[in-house]
Amino acid sequence: MAYHHLCSSPSSLLRDRHSLSVSPKPKSLRTNPPTSLNLVSLSKTSIKASSSHVSLEDLMSQETQIPRKLTNSQYPDGKTASKSYVWVNPRSPRASRLRQLTYDSRYSSLLKVADSLDSCNPNEKDVLAVLSSLGDDVSEQDAVVVLNNMSNPNTALLVLDHFRKILTKTSREVILYNVTLKVLRKSKDLDGAEKLFDEMLQRGVKPDNVTFSTLISCSRVCGLPSKAVEWFEKMPAYECDPDDVTYSAMIDAYGRAGNVDMAFTLYDRARTEKWRIDPVTFSTLIKIYGVSGNYDGCLNVYEEMKALGVKPNVVIYNTLLDAMGRAKRPWQAKSIYKEMLSNGFSPNWATYAALLRAYGRARYGEDALNVYKEMKDKGLELTVVLYNTLLAMCADVGFADEAAEIFEDMKNSGACKPDSWTFSSLITIYSCSGKVSEAEGILNMMLEAGFEPNIFVLTSLIQCYGKAQRTDDVVRMFNRVYELGITPDDRFCGCLLNVMTHTPREELGKVMDCIEKAKPELGRVVKLLIGEQNGEGNFKNEASELFNHISSDVKKPYCNCLIDLCVNLDLLERACDILELGLSLEIYAGIQSRSPTQWSLNLKSLSLGAALTALHVWINDLTKVQESGEELPPLLGINTGHGKHKYSEKGLATVIESHLKELDAPFHEASDKAGWFLTTKVAAESWLESRRSPDLVVA
């Protein structure tokens, strides 16, 4: 039993009753000394006579009180005792010499031998030279202690071979192999461990549970979960039954090997049978749930872990942060990070990387930049992926100056070089800001670095030239798409459509030709819209056909651009037709909402032209309600959102507020609700009554 546990302390090793005795026939000694012992009255001869009856196993358990059997000693009262004892001062030289005879001393010398074997040359001559210090009387227990404390796999195999030769009688030879397997595990030598296992079988040594658990754990530390599964599934063939610890470890192994169902099956069993699960396994379970998209499952496992009394470590926190980043739940990532700090853990590189990804994906610009600055302050290097995550976030939220600083830091780091995604994000930032020269400068750097522009880069450049009303450059970049053999996609065509909203009327034909070539069905809709083709009744049919054949993520941008184009060309009725079509196809939803106490107009997801058109339609609807005699609610409100466009100095709220003032509408910005403009029923009715014309001229 002692060998099975392979305890490193001498006391545990002595449970096998391997005791060393000065006497060939040690006698059992009493541990309770007689009372009122007069040490002065004890003769030196009596102590000397009894010294041959010392059991060193008993001496280990009695370091401070060492009894001695006496012959014909007397107590102070003169009575003769049949058995007498002597107390030896533990600080005396006598006690020191006695301790040297215990197994503690033997154990210390065995540790020194193990250290010497680790550092000696891995050849038989040098190994035998070290082992010769043990003498001829080497026990099986000595062999176990030496091998169990070694870390050099090359010399350990030679030591094992030596002990096998000199130990003619061993209680269980498998124990020697198991401790040698542990040495191979320490050095992550799975190949060597598997060869040693084959040797065991060839020599007729039957493996036990410890053999397989060591091989399984060796596979795990080597990052080979499939191998761990393979060894686990071999156990029944050798009549070995896994214990709870092995089963728990296999949850991690099956999860890492991709057998998610088996991992969850074992986890359910673990909860039922109350197995002890280590933090590594919990980390794997959280990762499995995260990869599968079950982010609530990640949090449930975390709560179950805490309920079982298992304390989370840095790896657990990092895995959770990564999962919350995938889920785009930055608020939960923040909460977990605060808990991590409050529990006394210091964030490492993986922690910061997970936070950067979480904040970057969710466009938490300020939080992401704070993490970035903290990493730089601590001297932590960023990878290309993390730099690109930051730059992509800057492109999403319009942080042009911050992006330029991050790019300079990336170039100066010396640890990583910009790639195509780096240049793509920077070109996007400058293009959306209308900074043509900066965008062209990054394009030249990209070409010098050996990267060809992809569809994303060319789309951004076309948008940049469009904002600057450089129509000829738009056409030039469009032609380059075909020169590079790139097929325009829906987003690219949407960019061309957006460019038309910035193009002077006299140059619309140039962009129209590009759209017709890239997407003929979109070209037909635009021509019908601006009146270059006859067919008033066909416009809605062509537009419906278009929206039924484009990807869902570009439907709203297409609708917004078409309405913006109509507003720019003073085609209000056609703008209303497109808005109506968008509502009927459920491209737009929830623009108007009504409750008994408030009617609202929600404009947050609309472009400027679409928002003005929706406002025009809503005011006309309110006018019709008043004319029909229907009662208005006590409160009416317009929700524009409280932000501004990321690449514009004017937000939607600013434009709508200005337009309401032009209409002399009684809507005023709410002090307690940012982005809301409210009015009362009485004020609205009075204003609507004053408006005789049902038409609204859209500015």
Least confident interval from 12-21, 86-95, 307-316, 355-364 = 12-21
| Contact assessment for residue 59 and residue 26, using Cβ atoms and an 8 Å cutoff | no
Instruction: Summarize the confidence of residues 621-633 as an average pLDDT.
Output: 91
Residue 99 has a pLDDT of 57
Instruction: Summarize the confidence of residues 268-296 as an average pLDDT.
Output: 84
Q: What is the mean pLDDT of the chain?
A: 82
Helix (H) or strand (E) holding 594: strand 592-594
**Residue 44: how many other CB atoms lie within 10 Å:** 7
CATH architecture of 593-698: 2-Layer Sandwich (3.30)
Q: Is the pLDDT of residue 160 over 70?
A: yes
Q: Where residue 96 falls among pLDDT bands split at 50, 70, 90?
A: low
Least confident interval from 31-35, 433-437, 460-464, 688-692 = 31-35
Question: Higher pLDDT residue, 625 or 643?
Answer: 625
Q: Is the pLDDT of residue 552 over 80?
A: yes
Q: Which of 432, 434, 461, 466 is nearest to 446 (CA)?
A: 461
**Contacts with 605 (C-beta within 8 Å, 6 or more apart), sequence order:** 556, 588
Residue 696 has a pLDDT of 45
Q: Where residue 535 falls among pLDDT bands split at 50, 70, 90?
A: low
647-692 pLDDT per residue, tens? 555 678 888 999 999 999 999 988 888 889 999 999 999 999 888 6
* Domain 278-369 in this protein, CATH class: mainly alpha
Residue 241 has a pLDDT of 85
Least confident interval from 12-21, 445-454, 479-488, 657-666 = 12-21
Residue 95 has a pLDDT of 66
Residue 18 has a pLDDT of 36
Q: Where residue 4 falls among pLDDT bands split at 50, 70, 90?
A: very low
Residue 648 has a pLDDT of 54
Q: Where residue 73 falls among pLDDT bands split at 50, 70, 90?
A: very low
| Contact assessment for residue 151 and residue 186, using Cβ atoms and an 8 Å cutoff | yes
Give whichever of 89-98, 261-270, 606-615 has the largest mean pLDDT.
606-615
Give whichever of 170-174, 220-224, 299-303 has the largest mean pLDDT.
299-303
Residue 293 has a pLDDT of 86
Q: Give alpha helix (H) positions in 6-102.
A: 10-13, 44-50, 56-61, 93-99
Residue 36 has a pLDDT of 35
Domain boundaries, the chain: 278-369, 593-698
**Residue 65: how many other CB atoms lie within 10 Å:** 13
| Contact assessment for residue 337 and residue 359, using Cβ atoms and an 8 Å cutoff | no
At 66, is the secondary structure helix, strand, or coil? Answer: coil
Instruction: Summarize the confidence of residues 226-250 as an average pLDDT.
Output: 86
28-51 pLDDT per residue, tens? 333 343 333 333 333 333 333 333
> Could you tell me the pTM of the whole model?
0.64
Instruction: Summarize the confidence of residues 77-98 as an average pLDDT.
Output: 61
Q: Give alpha helix (H) positions in 55-139.
A: 56-61, 93-99, 103-119, 124-131
Instruction: Summarize the confidence of residues 131-135 as an average pLDDT.
Output: 85
365-424 pLDDT per residue, tens? 999 999 999 999 999 999 999 999 999 999 988 898 999 999 999 999 888 899 999 999
Q: Measured between alpha carbons, how far is 127 from 143 in angstroms, rounded to an integer?
A: 14
What are 413-419's contacts with CB under 8 Å, separation 24+? 413/381, 413/382, 415/381, 415/382, 415/383, 416/381, 416/382, 416/383, 416/384, 416/387, 417/384, 417/449, 418/384, 418/387, 418/445, 418/449, 419/384, 419/388, 419/451
Residue 21 has a pLDDT of 33
Q: Is the pLDDT of residue 473 over 80?
A: yes
Residue 615 has a pLDDT of 95
Helix (H) or strand (E) holding 616: helix 608-627
Q: Which of 417, 355, 425 is nearest to 388 (CA)?
A: 425
Q: Where residue 53 falls among pLDDT bands split at 50, 70, 90?
A: very low
Least confident interval from 380-389, 547-556, 585-594, 690-699 = 690-699
Identity of the residue numbered 511? V
Question: Higher pLDDT residue, 390 or 166?
Answer: 390
At 593, is the secondary structure helix, strand, or coil? Answer: strand
Instruction: Summarize the confidence of residues 161-187 as an average pLDDT.
Output: 87
Least confident interval from 239-248, 333-342, 664-673 = 239-248
| Contact assessment for residue 490 and residue 550, using Cβ atoms and an 8 Å cutoff | yes
